[in-house]
Amino acid sequence: MENKTLLSVKNLRTWFELRRLGFIKVGNVKAVDGVSFELSEGEAIAVVGESGCGKSTLARTIMGLYPPTDGEISFNGFTVDAKSKIDFKAYRRNVGFVQQDPYGALPPFMTLRRILEEPMLINGITDKEEMRKRIAQALTELKLSPVDDYLQKFPHMLSGGQQQRVVIARAKILEPRLIVADEPVSMLDASVRVEILQLLKRLQETYNIGVIYITHDLSTVRYFAERIFVMYAANLVEQAPVKTLIHNPLHPYTQALLEAISDPDSKNAQTYRKVPPGEPPSLLNPPTGCRFHPRCTHRIDGLCNIEEPPNFEVESKHRVMCWLYKDSKVSKTVTEANVS
């Protein structure tokens, strides 16, 4: 049986209006531009893409911190709308956010006890014993024990890795159904990255929490996700289960990404030569057609440079936004969104 859908994102767009001198409208930075996907209850997915492709904007839009320019986000079957205050508060209680910079995310003058109590107080959990229990459990699960040694500490007394574990404990304390983790280990020492991802993974499995793990580092994904989404220039260009994506990448951009990491200490310079030359495009004026076409060695002239490819479903759970697969059927999520 298919798992129940937890989060559904349809044709999501988040554009930022760019003005010169504060008032002359120059255009829109299309940071997220037509993103559709579904996440099942308890599923872990990874969103991978180069810096500037729109990953954080996607995360912040899902968190309700940026209003979407267009499209729809629904959670457990209900549309997420920041304007409907009561529902939105319930949504935020169900979704935890972990960002890149743990120190910036923690109020510097609060003890860990207050930091962890605060979300509970805001959400009407005021019973002292209940709070104590939840805090002790969250800290223990994040390997911040003995708990009493940590409760009176301030964030600056902790290492970066410990700070990020506090952020994860705080995200977990309201028993969320979803955690959005935006580059949660990129700022940390390489030595603690895997451990923190494993702790997050354990929470996901123990409590059946859906996780969106956002990263520019494809090599950390296999510790974590069941599916990978590849993001390029504000689009999800390929979505597939991890093994499928690694063994059978379809989008020329995904193929290039994988080739670049397949031989990390490459004596074989060939590996690097396969990565297409050029830079990711500007999101103010992205190329027409497929945004990857200027860098793509497989492009079909007269098509790829003119018309944006839809999401083709090549096999079950494997979607790709590329004209090379135009004989596959167009994926359902996108068709539905286009109709509505």
Ligand X SMILES: Nc1ncnc2c1ncn2[C@@H]1O[C@H](COP(=O)(O)OP(=O)(O)O)[C@@H](O)[C@H]1O
* Interface residue list for ligand X (CB under 6 A): 16, 29, 31, 49, 51-57, 283
Distance CA 293, CA 307 (A): 11
Distance CA(170)–CA(111), nearest Å, equals: 13
Terminal Cα-to-Cα distance of the chain (whole angstroms): 27
Whose Cβ is closer to Mg ion: residue 116's or residue 167's?
Answer: 167
Is residue 162 part of the contact set for Mg ion (CB under 5 A)? no
Binding status of residue 61 toward Mg ion by CB under 5 A: no
Residue 136, helix vs strand vs coil: helix
- Spell 150-169 as b/e; 16+ CB within 10 A means b: bbebebeebebbbbbbbbbb
Tell me how far, at minimum, the Cβ of 54 lies from ligand X, in Å: 4
* Min CB(10)–ligand X separation in Å: 19
Work out how close the CB of 283 gets to ligand X at its nearest, in angstroms, rounded to a whole number. 5
Residue 99 partner contact from ligand X, Mg ion, none using kind-dependent CB cut-offs of 5 to 8 Å: none
54 binds, among Mg ion, ligand X, none (CB under 5 to 8 A by kind): ligand X
Smallest separation, CB 35 to ligand X (Å)? 12
Q: Does 56 bind Mg ion (CB under 5 A)?
A: yes
**Cβ closest to ligand X, residue 144 vs residue 214:** 214
Orientation of helix 128-141 relative to helix 160-172, angle to 10°: 130
* Cβ-proximal residue to Mg ion, closest one: 56
The type of residue at 97 is F
Identity of the residue numbered 226: E
Which residues, at least 6 apart from 150, have a Cβ–Cβ distance to it below 8 Å?
112, 139, 144
Question: And the tokens for 123?
Answer: 């959400």
Residue 16 binds which one of Mg ion, ligand X, none, with CB within 5 to 8 A depending on kind?
ligand X
C-beta of 8 vs 57, nearer to ligand X: 57
Size of the site for Mg ion (CB under 5 A): 2
Please, which residue, 55 or 299, has the CB nearer to ligand X? 55
**Binding site partner of 283, from ligand X, Mg ion, none, Cβ cut-off 5-8 A by kind:** ligand X
63 binds, among Mg ion, ligand X, none (CB under 5 to 8 A by kind): none
Measure the CA angle with vertex 22, ends 18 and 23; round to 5°. 85
Nearest CB to ligand X, comparing residues 117 and 183: 183
Question: Alpha carbon 88 to chain centroid distance?
Answer: 20
Residue 71 touches which of ligand X, Mg ion, none (Cβ within 5-8 Å per kind): none
- Smallest gap from residue 48 Cβ to ligand X (A): 10
Find the shortest distance in angstroms from Cβ 4 to ligand X.
29
User: At residue 86, what is the residue type?
Assistant: I
Residues 214-252 as b or e (16 or more Cβ within 10 Å = b): bbbebebbeebbbbbbbbbbbbbbbbbbbebbbeebbbb
Q: Least distance in Å: CB of 12 to ligand X? A: 13
- Closest CB to ligand X among residues 51, 268: 51
Tokens of residue 117, six digits = 């109590």
* Closest CB 323 distance from Mg ion, rounded Å: 29
- Residues lying near Mg ion in the complex (CB under 5 A): 55-56
